[in-house]
């Protein structure tokens, strides 16, 4: 079985975007604010957006199951207040749940959180509970920067975030560290902000002892870990200067990297420096990079090809990357698969 741990519902029906535009307009002019019930999307519409897009490409590329969460760039936690984020997260998560119900063999949910700048992250707990208990979701996406590129919340190692961690630990679900749209003109959303957040989060973890307090807490750092594997020597050297243990010992019991790296040499590097037990297959398809690489004739984000072709991996390694590691990082996914006889 090939599990893609990083997919977003980037192809949701246009009605969702229209509803969101009305919601944003309603922040300034409450007379324009829509009710959640104003959004009506039928199952056929969901099927069409999935079958012509994600599911089609999954079949073509040979992946089986995607851990599916709301569109990351649309989370836009910086917009409005907690109530705005809460309503928006509930709607987006429910759509992913419905997709997972329509295609239970191919999609299982991960939750967007109703974060809002300056608001206690404990306010996200009810949505986590709903998504796990009612929707069967197996993970969450945690945004370390709900300001959208201004980085005004404390680091992920701060007690500010502990209420969320306690809930993740209670359910034994991991958090993918994933920012949303940048509203800082310096940072291109998918070309800078996403990668910077990955690097930033890893370095925050390196400077602290968070996992002493939460030994079973797990993070997935997406986009191949940002700059981290390429600069693995730098991070090892910085850990040494900070009198911390080697990152391999201190962090890799709790931190995973996905394979959203869109060329062969990048995947080869990932496989060279990061232990295979810490690598999770992912493509973020359909996501940031949607075109075909003219050099190869294949989609940039068809990361399965790179994992298949990499001389760094044995067949046993690939089995871990494609399936076993995901079952370990996402125990509720493993349980759901076993309940279905997989």
Residues labelled as active-site residues? 284
Residue choice 117, 121, 136, 226 for contact with a second copy (CB under 8 A)? 226
Q: Which of 47, 98, 129, 236 binds a second copy (CB under 8 A)?
A: 236
Query: Residue 101 or 190: which CB sits closer to a second copy?
Result: 190
Contact 75, 11 (CB under 8 A): no
> Which listed residue (93, 266, 286, 325) binds a second copy by CB under 8 A?
266
Whose Cβ is closer to a second copy: residue 22's or residue 305's? 305
Look up residue 274 and give its DSSP letter.
S
CB of 151 to a second copy, least distance (A): 4
Strands 279-280 and 255-258: parallel
Residues 6+ apart with CB under 8 A from 65: 1, 2, 3, 4, 105, 106, 107, 108, 337
Please tell me the distance from the alpha carbon of residue 203 to that of residue 228, in angstroms, as a whole number.
Answer: 9
From the list 192, 319, 328, 335, which residue makes contact with a second copy (rule: CB under 8 A)? 192
Per-residue interface string for the shown chain with a second copy, residues 143-172, x marking contact by CB under 8 A:
-xx---xxx-xxx-----------------
Outline where the chain has alpha helix (H).
Answer: 14-28, 43-49, 55-61, 72-75, 82-102, 125-129, 162-171, 194-206, 210-213, 232-241, 247-250, 264-273, 303-309, 315-319, 325-329, 331-339
Candidates 159, 212, 233, 315; binder of a second copy (CB under 8 A) is 233
Per CB under 8 A, residues contacting a second copy are: 144-145, 149-151, 153-155, 184-188, 190-192, 195-196, 199-200, 203-204, 206-207, 223-224, 226-227, 229-238, 240-241, 261-263, 265-266, 268-269, 272-273, 288-291, 293, 300-301
């Amino acid at each position: 079985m090939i599990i893609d741990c990083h997919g977003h519902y980037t192809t949701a029906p246009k009605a969702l975007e229209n509803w969101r535009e009305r919601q944003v307009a309603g922040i300034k002019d409450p007379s324009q604010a829509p009710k959640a019930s104003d959004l009506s999307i039928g199952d056929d519409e969901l099927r069409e957006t999935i079958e012509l897009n994600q599911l089609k490409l999954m079949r073509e590329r040979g992946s089986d199951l995607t851990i599916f969460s709301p569109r990351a760039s649309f989370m836009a936690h910086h917009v409005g207040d907690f109530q705005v984020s809460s309503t928006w997260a509930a709607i987006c998560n429910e759509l992913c749940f419905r997709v997972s119900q329509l295609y239970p063999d191919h999609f299982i949910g991960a939750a967007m959180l109703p974060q809002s700048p300056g608001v206690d992250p404990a306010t996200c707990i009810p949505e986590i509970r709903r998504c796990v208990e009612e929707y069967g979701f197996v993970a969450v996406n945690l945004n370390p920067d709900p300001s959208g590129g201004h980085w005004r919340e404390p680091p992920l190692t701060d007690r500010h975030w502990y209420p969320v961690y306690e809930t993740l630990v209670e359910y034994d679900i991991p958090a993918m560290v994933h920012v949303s749209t940048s509203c800082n003109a310096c940072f291109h959303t998918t070309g800078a902000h996403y990668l910077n957040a990955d690097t930033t989060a890893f370095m925050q973890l390196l400077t602290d002892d968070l996992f002493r307090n939460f030994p079973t807490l797990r993070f997935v750092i997406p986009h191949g870990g940002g700059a981290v594997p390429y600069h693995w020597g730098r991070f090892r050297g910085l850990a040494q200067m900070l009198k911390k243990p080697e990152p391999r010992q201190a962090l890799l019991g709790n931190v995973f990297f996905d394979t959203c790296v869109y060329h062969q040499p990048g995947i080869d590097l990932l496989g060279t420096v990061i232990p295979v037990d810490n690598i999770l297959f992912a493509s973020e398809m359909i996501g940031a990079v949607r075109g075909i690489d003219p050099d190869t004739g294949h989609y940039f984000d068809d990361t399965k090809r790179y994992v298949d072709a990499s001389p760094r991996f044995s067949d046993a390694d690939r089995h871990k990357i494609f399936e076993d590691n995901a079952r370990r990082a996402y125990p509720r996914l493993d349980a759901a698969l076993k309940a279905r006889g997989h």
